[in-house]
Each structure stands twice: as structure tokens, then as C-alpha cells.
Amino acid sequence: MAALETSRLFGGLTESELRVLKEAVRTPSFAPGKVIFTEGDIGDGLYVVRSGSVLISAFVNEAERRPLSHVGEGDFFGEMAVVDNEPRSATATAEVETEVYFIPREVVLQMLERSPKLAVNLMREFSLHRREFNRQYIREVLESERLTLVGRFARAIVHDFKNPLNVVGIAADLAAMDNASLEVRQMARNRIRGQIDRLTAMINELLEFTRGSESLSVLVKTNYREFVLRLLEEIRTEMSGTPISIEYDQDPPAVPLLVDPVRLNHLFINLINNATDAMPDGGKIKFRFAVTEKEVVTEIADTGHGIAPEIFPRLFQAFATYGKSQGTGLGLSICKRIIQDHRGRIEARNDQGSGAVFSFTLPLQ
């Protein structure tokens, strides 16, 4: 059990100064787990631990409380709100059966005016407390962010893998039917192989994205019309039975482009998934194509509610998401990297009276 005068905060005070403190002090007790004060409370006084231990904690985000320090016998807490007259910035909780010295704010302020030694002690100890709090707070924030990132990537994997895995499941069921013909089983095999390749490409794209390094694209000469029509046919098959339709007024241009087919496939799927998410009750995904002297322009438009103004400035940043029950905001940032690696551009806008439009360019060979 620590005597009041043994605290470093009160070291060097005169007998008369200590007498004033002892006359004003109260010694409340707190059971284990009992909250002494809560973040946001009025700073009504300073506390010194007489016996026991106190946990100081604070929110590092809106929903997660983290420990910042453990205050033992002879140490003090609650000084910040006393000095700056602001609400408590953290919560203090008794960890075990704890007794404290409580000194009212008015007494502390009067003593600071009369005792230069107390003022020096408080400045020194306050600085030490802040340094330790800051170090611990940074550690806790970083740990919280790491866990948040793990959760976001896990949700991204679940969200992005859902459609390919559904296709694999349906194809496996077809192949396992007793009356399935050789042709049906071959079609199911090809579909499963295609979805496995798609999943592998998505995993590699995520891994490269997390490393932050430039992706190694294998560019091959590709007929853009054949590539897009084949891809859209596969996606239409996957979307059969859903309230989403895919439309285009004209065929894609039959021009040769140097592209990485695997990554470009991922780009289209991400943009189509984004459009699908924007139309939970169904709608249309419309493709438009144009060719200029230097590039091919592809637009993908949906009939949703458009892009919210709140998200527009951060639309292609990692983890930017707004008003979506699924997804993590990784899809569009990955799309931007894919297009940049192809030396193209990607943009977004809202169509007047319609939904969102994503436009990207690919340079002609």
C-alpha cells in the first residue's frame, strides 16, 4: 500500500503542502472490473493508486477498445483532463481490488499555483506518461489495422470467389449425373478448368497487389472482338437465371491488341461484378466500344443508382467502398493497376438519369 507522499508526483513537496493534499484527499475503493471513469466524462480530479492496479484503455476505432497502460501503486492517472479542463480521453478500470487517492481538480490547480516543485513534477511525469501512451497507442492502432486488413482481404476472397465456386459446383453436379453424356461431362470439365484458372489468376493478382510491386504481365497479340465475345458468353452462362442482362449494340472491334488475357479477363469480371452489386434488384449491363487513332475505348454501363458523390474522389483507391453490403473496395483499385500495366486509362462517371459508366482504354498495337 503506497503512501501519498511516496508518489513521484509529490516528491520534494514541503510538509505544509503535503498536509493540504492529505486534508483534501478521499480514498474510494473499486472492485475488480469496476469503471473509475469513462472516456468523455468531466475531469473532476486526479487519482493516485494507493493499492491495486488500474487499466487505462481507449477506442482505437469506432468499435474496438484497446489497453494503453497499467497503473500500479504510487503512480497516478487522470491528470490530462484536470490540466486542460477537457473531457476524459480514456477509460480507467480497476483490474483488481483497488483503492485510490482522489484529489479534486480545484485542489490540484491551487497547489500548482503555490508549488513550483509540484508543477515541475507534473510536467516531468506528464511527459513520461504521454510518451508511453503514444508508443502503446501506436502499437495498438497498428495491430488493429493489421487485423482489419486481414478481415478485409478475407471478405474480398469470399466475395470474389463466390461466382467461380458456384460455377464449379454446378459443373461438378452436371458431370456426376448418371445420365450425363460424354459431351456434357467434357463441357463440365472445361468449365471447371476455366474457373480454376480464373481463381488462380485472381489469387495471383491479390498477392501482387499486397506486395505493391509491378505486376509481370505476359502480353500476347489478341483479337479483341474474339476475346470479348468469348468472355461475355461465359459470363452470360454464369448469369443465366439472374435478373441481370448483358447487352451491346455493336460487336467489339476486331483489332489486334497486345494484352495479358488472364489479367484483362480479371478486369472485365471485376467491372461486371461491380455493376451487378449496384443492381441488387436486377438491371442491364451495357457494353459500348469505339476505336480512335491510338486506342480502343470500352465502356461498361449499368442501370443502378450511380456512384455516390462521397466515394468519387477515392473510387480507385484501395478499400474505398460506400453503401455496399459486400465487397471491400479492392476490385476497382486492381482494375486501375491492370489498365496502367497495359499503358491505358480508366475513368468513371454517372450517366444522366441512369447508372454508373466505367470507361477504359487499351492502346492499339
Alpha helices in 76-115 (DSSP H): 79-84, 105-114
pLDDT at 183 over 70: yes
pLDDT at 327 over 60: no
pLDDT attached to residue 242: 85
Name the residue among 342, 336, 341 with its Cα closest to residue 359: 336
CA distance 111 to 106: 9
Q: What percent of the chain has pLDDT over 90?
A: 34
pLDDT at 212 over 60: no
Q: Using the 8-state DSSP alphabet, how is residue 215 labeled?
A: P
Mean of the per-residue pLDDT values for the chain?
84
Highest mean pLDDT among 63-72, 108-117, 288-297: 288-297
CA distance 28 to 101: 7
- pTM of the model as a whole: 0.53
Name the residue among 273, 87, 73 with its Cα closest to residue 162: 273
Other beta carbons within 10 angstroms of residue 61's beta carbon come to 11
**Greater pLDDT, 325 or 159:** 159
Residue 231 neighbours by CB under 8 Å, 6+ apart: 265, 268
pLDDT attached to residue 237: 82
CA distances from 209 to 48, 68, 341, 358 (A): 50, 33, 12, 21
- Name the amino acid, one letter, at 146: R
Q: What does the pLDDT look like over 38-51, one tens digit per residue?
A: 998 988 899 999 99
pLDDT at 326 over 60: no
Residue 259 neighbours by CB under 8 Å, 6+ apart: 219, 220, 222, 224, 227, 342, 362
**Any idea which of 32-36, 77-81, 105-109 has the lowest mean pLDDT?**
77-81
**Any idea which of 211-220, 280-289, 334-343 has the lowest mean pLDDT?**
211-220
pLDDT attached to residue 92: 94
Dihedral of alpha carbons 53, 58, 60, 65, sign: positive
Q: What does the pLDDT look like over 329-349, one tens digit per residue?
A: 677 888 998 999 999 999 999
Beta bridge partners of 287: 248, 300
